[in-house]
Each structure stands twice: as C-alpha cells, then as structure tokens.
C-alpha cells in the first residue's frame, strides 16, 4: 500500500517467500548480521526513515522480548511506531504469548534507549472490545470483566511512537528487560535441574493442577514434555486457556477419556507427574487411575502435593497411586497416618501413606516464590505506585452450601466493597478460589482493586507465586492459601466464614474486624508470627533448592517394582472410575431433568397468569381440557 502511494519501504517478515520483496527476518532472535542485511537494503541517500512494528510484539514469548526490542533499537534511525495489544487473542488466546501492561512495555523500550513521544498516537480499535458472547471469544470476555491491567476502556491495540535517544549496553539492557518481564529467575531453576534425555508426561485431570505443573515447563525441554489431559475433570475455561498455551509453546497434548487411549508403548519407562491424584473423589480418582496404569507400564510416577488434607473423608481412606509423593513437609504424612475416623463401625486412619512413599522436598511453585528479585505490582498490573501505601491480597472461596454455609453473596460483596472504599491508599488484589471467577466481584470499586482470578493468571502466564512476594498482607478464609502466604513470610489475617476451623495454629476474626489489621502495626506483628507458625508446621521442607532435589530424585532407581499389588491397584482404579462415571452421568441426567421441570413449571405459571389476564379483559377463559393438562403437568413436575 505504501509503495502504491509512492512511499519507499523495506518490509520484513519471519516467513518471507523466496523471490518476494520481503526480507526474511525473525525479530525474536537478536542478530547483528540479520539487522545489517536489512539496513543495507535502505537507500542512505533518501534521508531519515520511520521504523514500524505493528501486530507483532504481543506474539513474541516473554523470554524473547529483550531480543525483539534490541533488534528494533538497531533498526531504528530516529523514530519507531509500534502497536501493542494487552488482551488475549481470539481462539482462546492461541496467538498472544506476552500480555503486559502498556506502562511495562514502555519501560521495556526505555531500557534499550528509547523515549516515549506519544501514547495512543492513532485511534485504537475500541470497537474490538464489544465482543459477542460465544465460545470462541469467551476467554476475552472474562478477561475484559477482570480487567487486571485497568485498560479496557482505552481500547486496543495501543499505538505508540518512540524516539531513539541513546545507545544502551545490550547486556545490561537485556538484564533489565528480563527482570521487567520476569524471566530472570528461570535461569537459576535451569541451573539446578538436569532433565537428561527422558520423556516427561504431565497428567492434568483437575483444574487446580496447572499451578503445580506449569513451573516445570521452565526446566523441562518442551520437546521432551507431553501433557495428558482428561477434559471431563478440568473446568472448561481453564481447559481452553491451558490448551492454547501448550499449543502455542509446541508441547504435545493428548486429550483422552479412557486410559486405554493413551500410547502406553511410547510412554514405557518415562516419567509421569501428577498434581492432585488420590482415591478420594471423582476428579482426584481420574488422576489416580492414570498413575496406577502408568506404574504397570514401567513409568516412574510422581505426585506433587496440592494442598492440605483438612479432614477425614466419609467412607474413604486416602491413598495415592504414585510411587513417590513430593510433599511440603512431614505434616501431610503424619496427619493422614496418625489421625483416625470411623469407617463401617471401626476406627481407621485418614489415609494409608507409608513413609517410603513420602519425599518431603518442597514444591515447584513455592520454590519459585523464593527466587528474587521480583518485579513490583506496578510492573505486573500497571497501576500507579505513588497512589498506594500498601497492598493487600484478599482470598475468597465460595463454599456453595458446604457445612450449610453460603458465604459469597450480595452482602459479602457489599462488605468487601466497603472495606476497599474505606482504605483508598491500599491496593487490594482480589484472588478468587480456582473454582470461582472474578466476574462475581465486578461491582467492587475499581480505583484501588485488581481482580486477579486463576484464569487471568493462566492467560497472562502470571502465576500467583510471582505476585505474592510483593504483597504486604493476606486476608483469606481458612484455606491452603495461608500456606502460600506463609512461604513468603507474609502476615496473614484469617476471616471467619462460618466453616469449621480445620487447620492447626490459626485464629479467625469476623470479616468486619479485618480492617483493624490493615491499620494496626501491632496486629501486623502478631499476624506475621502466625504466618511463621503456619510455615513451620505445614511447609518446613520448602526452600529454594526444589529443582536440584527433584533432579537428584529422578536419578534414583525405583524402590517399588511392579508386583501383584500394583496390578491390583490399577485394576481397582479402572473399576472405580467406570462406576463413578456411570453414577456421574446419571446424576447429570437427573440435574438436567430437574432443570427442564423447573422450566415447565415456570411456563405453566405464565400460561395461567395470561389466562387470568385474558379472562379479566375479555371474559374468555382457558378450556377445561387444557386446564386439566396444565394441572397434570404441574403435578408430575412436582413429583
């Protein structure tokens, strides 16, 4: 188009066709020689030129952002015009690899010697924010509802003009950029971990597992990784986001419904890593079955601890199929083995967790919380740090009637909004449970609030483990989020939801009283002491050497060879899943029928109201036979 207007241009593309006027160039890989080839194509007698980079930067993985902007710095004569999108792409964010606040992007360009000339130099395509509600764009709509960068109203993409004002040392600039986009800490992880030539299978059958498994993709070569995904056990929006992330990263994904579908001949002797398998319930049982069958095929199986077992499960004894269970400490092992509950008129332990199965070496996600430095919340979320004196993360979990408690409703959201409004110089980061959505809290005041739910973290590849160390205080219901906070020595205030207190060493306060903890320095000291107590009890094995210890464990030969007990466990797991699936399908059918009956009942009520209105206005009334039909349908719907 430029050439048609008589404007000379030099065009580059990562996949230029031979014989075309487009120069082949990969912006994401720094290359002085490749840049020199492009510069030689520019006629120096024509004077100054403008460098442009549109619809490219958000497609580049954050590990390559430094190379990309360094290339642009060398390609720029004086002025550079770029476009940047800060929201997910369509197709469940299949295309946008790096989502950062626009203020962070500006600092990235400043690191290599650019100066901001004009933000929003051209009108953004604001209309792109009016998305239809359909499956293909569902993740974008949820992103818009959360608006974690507080920039939805600005439209997108953003068009920015920079001026090249200095030549920065590339090594120091690269280090600064890698800190801004938060990839520097991955170097230490990779230094600790020796992956060898083995294949790694990561089992995803529950939506809470992603936070446990994702850190391993920084150290396992993606060509050696394979994700085994059971869609029926994963929340659908989470599945969409994870599926696109893995596809974008070139990781093989196998989605399956039945363990017989897996390529066991290829997997023989490889590693299988799970995050939430156990014998307790449907979602956990799916992973248990896969791990049990994997052991039959000679796989070395590992389970990452995903939380704390707060109570005994009725008619259950907790067991794990994996040969090695990597725990945060010894508490999990002691709790399951030493506490008892009634099971068919006799006392039995909560679980069967032999000491030779337990390996207290910590956690990948908790280890990542130890690796500083951390970019600040202003870098991660894009807010103005001068407006806030402190930050508070609020953990919320909808109990959905468990223990008869309905804790998340209009009253709770109203009280939370009042707390936020009463502390305008405090930045509140609202963290719903992975089963919940930020949309529930969309009515909260937004000037000092970030709605950071699990889905937004997956889409932006921004894990909670990298956000928590920046937080000054965590307010939460009684949940394992307390341990996440304690790992970073953050003061913890636990508010009462009406549920039983099943964790040792904590005290709860009414939600109305937690405002005092935000203001009181004395309270903060007590809350930090409780945090240290929680870490000492539930996470004493957590440190910054998890990857080294896990790497060493991978080199150890199996101590539990396959025998008849492993085979029996696998057989029972298959039977249990088949029975559970049948029961679940029946339950789903009953739920669907109940929904239909409610709709029929509502329609019958509407018809009767219309009949009364018509009879009053015209004297016409519904016929006797039709009235009898309505009564019959209503009677059946009640039954």
**pLDDT at residue 137, rounded to an integer:** 80
Q: Calculate mean pLDDT across residues 512-524.
A: 80
Res 16 pLDDT > 80: no
pLDDT of residue 305: 97
Cα–Cα distance, 300 to 309 (Å, whole number): 24
pLDDT of 637? 52
pLDDT at 633 over 60: no
* 361-to-324, 328, 331, 354 alpha-carbon distances in Å: 11, 6, 13, 16
Buried/exposed code over 381-393 (b: 16+ C-beta within 10 A; e: otherwise): bbbeeeebeebbb
* d(C-alpha 432, C-alpha 443), whole Å: 14
- Please report, for residues 289, 568, 574, 578, 638, the alpha-carbon distance to residue 571 in angstroms, rounded to integers and kept in the order given: 9, 5, 5, 11, 42
Phi, psi (degrees; rounded to nearest 5) at 577: -65, -40
With a CB cutoff of 8 Å and minimum separation 6, the contacts of 139 are: 88, 92, 93, 237, 240, 241, 455, 459
Q: What mean pLDDT do residues 256-278 have?
A: 96
Give the pLDDT of residue 521: 65
Name the packing angle between helices 102-111 and 170-180 (round to 10°).
170
What residue spans of 297-409 are helical by DSSP H?
331-338, 364-368, 377-381
d(CA 180, CA 178) in angstroms, rounded, equals 5
pLDDT at 581: 82
628 pLDDT more than 80: no
Where residue 625 falls among pLDDT bands split at 50, 70, 90?
A: low
Higher-confidence residue of 571 and 277: namely 277
The verdict on domain 378-541 having CATH code 3.40.50.12580 is yes
Least reliable range by pLDDT among 10-19, 98-107, 511-520, 622-631: 622-631
Q: Is the pLDDT of residue 314 over 80?
A: yes
Q: Would you state the pLDDT for residue 149? A: 96
Mean pLDDT score of the chain, rounded to an integer?
90
Residues pairing with 349 in the sheet: 340
Q: What is the mean pLDDT of residues 582-598?
A: 81
User: Helix 65-75 crosses helix 170-180 at what angle (to 10 degrees)?
Assistant: 130
Tell me how crowded residue 370 is: count the other CB atoms within 10 A of its CB. Answer: 18
pLDDT digit string, tens, across residues 51-70: 999 999 999 999 999 999 99
User: How much is the pLDDT for 44?
Assistant: 78
CATH 3.40.50, applies to 195-367+548-562: yes
Concatenated DSSP letters of 98-166: ----HHHHHHHHHHTTEEEEEES-S---GGGG----SGGGHHHHHHHHH-TTS-GGG-SSEEEEEEE--
Q: Helix/strand/coil (H, E, C) string of 254-272?
A: EECCCHHHCCHHHHCCCEE
Instruction: Give the list of residues 6+ apart from residue 103 with CB closer than 8 angstroms, or none.
Output: 378, 382
Cα–Cα distance for residue pair 504/309, rounded to 1 Å? 12
Handedness of CA 264, 268, 272, 276 (dihedral sign): positive
pLDDT tier for residue 290 given thresholds of 50, 70 and 90: very high
Beta bridge partners of 272: 201, 301
Residue 127 is predicted with a pLDDT of: 46
What pLDDT does residue 494 have? Answer: 94
Over residues 562-579, the mean pLDDT reads 83
At 514, which helix (H) or strand (E)? helix 514-519
- For 349, the enclosing helix (H) or strand (E) is strand 347-349
How many angstroms from the chain centroid is the CA of residue 286?
21
DSSP 333: H
Q: What percent of the chain has pLDDT over 90?
A: 68
Mean pLDDT of 184-206: 96
- Encode 575-635 in three state secondary structure: HHHHHHHHHHHHHHHHHHHHHHHHHHHHHHHHHHHHHHHHHHHHCCCCCHHHHHHHHHHHH
pLDDT for residue 569 is more than 90: no
Q: Which of 183-197, 443-457, 502-516 has the lowest mean pLDDT?
A: 502-516
Pairs from 444-451 (Cβ < 8 Å, separation ≥ 24): 444/413, 444/416, 444/417, 444/420, 445/417, 445/420, 445/421, 446/147, 446/150, 448/387, 448/388, 448/420, 448/423, 448/424, 449/420, 450/148, 450/150, 450/377, 450/381, 450/383, 451/145, 451/146, 451/147, 451/148
Surface-to-core class of residue 476, CB atoms within 10 Å of its CB (0-12 exposed, 13-18 middle, 19+ buried): buried
Run of H or E including 454: helix 454-460
Cβ atoms 267, 199 nearer than 8 A:
yes
Find the mean pLDDT for residues 540-561. 93
Confidence of residue 5 (pLDDT cuts 50, 70, 90): low
Helix (H) or strand (E) holding 327: strand 324-327
Flag whether pLDDT at 636 surpasses 60: no
User: Could you read off the pLDDT of 404-417 as tens digits, one per residue?
Assistant: 888 888 999 999 99
**What are phi and psi for residue 326, nearest 5 degrees?**
-90, 110
Residue range 115-165, pLDDT digits in tens: 999 999 988 755 445 556 677 788 998 999 999 999 998 888 999 999 999
DSSP string, 380-430: HH---GGG-SEEEEEEE---TTGGG----SHHHHHHHHHHHHT-TTEEEEE
> Residue 173, Cβ neighbours under 10 Å: how many?
20
Q: Does domain 3-180 have CATH number 3.40.50?
A: yes
Distance linking the first and last C-alpha atoms of the chain: 70
Angle between helical axes of 282-296 and 564-618 (0-180°, round to 10): 150
Q: How confident is the model over 68-88, as pLDDT tens digits? A: 999 999 999 999 999 999 999
pLDDT number for residue 1: 56
What's the rounded Cα separation, in Å, for the pair 133 and 304? Answer: 37
Q: Region 544-559: what's the mean pLDDT?
A: 94
Mean pLDDT within 95-116: 98
The predicted structure's pLDDT at residue 624: 59
Does the pLDDT of residue 19 top 70, yes or no? no
Backbone torsions φ then ψ of 13, nearest 5 degrees: -155, 150
pLDDT attached to residue 373: 95
Whether residue 438 is preceded by a cis peptide bond, meaning omega within 30 degrees of 0, is no
Chain centroid to Cα 75, Å, comes to 36
Instruction: Give the Cα separation of 550 and 324 in Å (integer).
Output: 11
Q: Which two tokens stand for residue 325?
A: 């269970």
Least confident of 36-40, 126-130, 623-627: 126-130
């Amino acid at each position: 188009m430029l050439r048609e207007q008589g404007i000379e241009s030099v065009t580059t593309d990562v996949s230029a066709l031979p014989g075309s006027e487009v120069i082949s160039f990969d912006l994401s890989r720094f290359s002085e020689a490749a840049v020199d080839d492009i510069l030689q194509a520019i006629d120096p007698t024509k004077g100054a030129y403008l460098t442009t980079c549109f619809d490219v930067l958000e497609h580049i993985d954050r590990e390559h952002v430094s190379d990309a902007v360094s290339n642009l710095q060398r390609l720029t004569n004086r002025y550079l015009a770029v476009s940047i999108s800060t929201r997910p792409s369509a197709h469940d964010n299949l295309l946008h690899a790096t989502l950062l606040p626009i203020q962070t992007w500006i600092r990235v360009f400043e690191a290599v010697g650019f100066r901001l000339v004009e933000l929003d130099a051209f009108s953004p395509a604001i209309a792109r924010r009016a998305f239809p509600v359909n499956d293909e764009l569902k993740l974008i709509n949820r992103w818009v509802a959360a608006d974690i960068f507080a920039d939805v109203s600005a439209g997108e993409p953003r068009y920015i003009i920079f001026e090249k004002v200095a030549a920065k040392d590339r090594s120091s600039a690269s280090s600064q950029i890698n800190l801004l986009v938060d990839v520097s800490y991955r170097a230490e992880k990779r230094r600790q971990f020796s992956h060898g030539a083995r294949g790694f299978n990561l089992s995803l059958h529950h939506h809470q597992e992603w936070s446990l498994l994702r850190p391993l993709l920084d150290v396992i070569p993606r060509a050696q990784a394979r994700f085994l995904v059971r869609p029926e056990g994963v929340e659908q929006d989470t599945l969409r986001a994870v599926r696109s992330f893995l596809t974008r990263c070139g990781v093989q994904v196998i989605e399956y419904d039945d363990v017989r579908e897996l390529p066991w001949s290829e997997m023989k002797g490889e590693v299988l890593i799970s995050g939430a398998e156990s014998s307790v319930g449907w979602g956990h049982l799916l992973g248990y079955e896969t791990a049990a069958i994997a052991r039959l095929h000679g796989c070395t199986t590992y389970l990452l601890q995903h939380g704390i077992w707060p109570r005994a499960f009725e008619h259950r004894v907790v067991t794990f199929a994996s040969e090695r269970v990597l725990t945060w400490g010894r508490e999990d092992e002691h709790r399951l083995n030493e506490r008892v509950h009634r099971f068919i008129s006799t006392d039995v332990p909560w679980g069967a967790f032999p000491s030779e199965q337990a390996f207290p070496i910590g956690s990948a996600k908790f280890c990542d919380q130890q690796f500083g430095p951390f970019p600040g919340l202003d870098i991660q979320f894009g807010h103005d740090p001068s407006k806030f004196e402190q930050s508070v993360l609020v953990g919320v979990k909808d109990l959905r009637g468990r223990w008869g408690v309905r804790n998340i409703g209009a009253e709770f959201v109203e009280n939370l909004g009042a707390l936020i409004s009463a502390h305008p110089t405090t930045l509140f980061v609202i963290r719903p449970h992975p089963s919940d959505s930020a949309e529930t809290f969309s009515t909260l005041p937004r000037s000092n609030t970030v709605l950071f739910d699990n889905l937004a973290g997956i889409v932006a590849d921004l894990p909670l483990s990298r956000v928590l160390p920046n937080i000054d205080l965590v307010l939460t219901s009684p949940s394992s989020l307390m341990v996440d906070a304690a790992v970073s020595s953050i003061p913890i205030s636990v508010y009462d939801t009406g549920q039983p207190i099943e964790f040792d060493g904590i005290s709860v306060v009414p939600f109305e009283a937690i405002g005092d903890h935000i203001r009181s320095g004395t309270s903060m000291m007590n809350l930090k002491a409780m945090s240290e107590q929680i870490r000492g009890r539930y996470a004493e094995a957590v440190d910054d050497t998890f990857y080294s210890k896990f790497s060493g464990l991978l080199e150890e030969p199996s101590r539990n060879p396959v025998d008849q007990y492993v085979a029996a466990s696998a057989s029972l797991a298959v039977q249990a899943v088949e029975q559970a699936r049948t029961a679940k399908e029946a339950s789903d059918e009953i739920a669907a029928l109940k929904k239909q009956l409610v709709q029929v009942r509502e329609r019958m009520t509407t018809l009767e109201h219309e009949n009364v209105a018509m009879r009053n206005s015209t004297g016409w009334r519904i016929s006797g036979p039709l009235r009898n039909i309505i009564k019959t349908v209503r009677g059946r719907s009640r039954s």
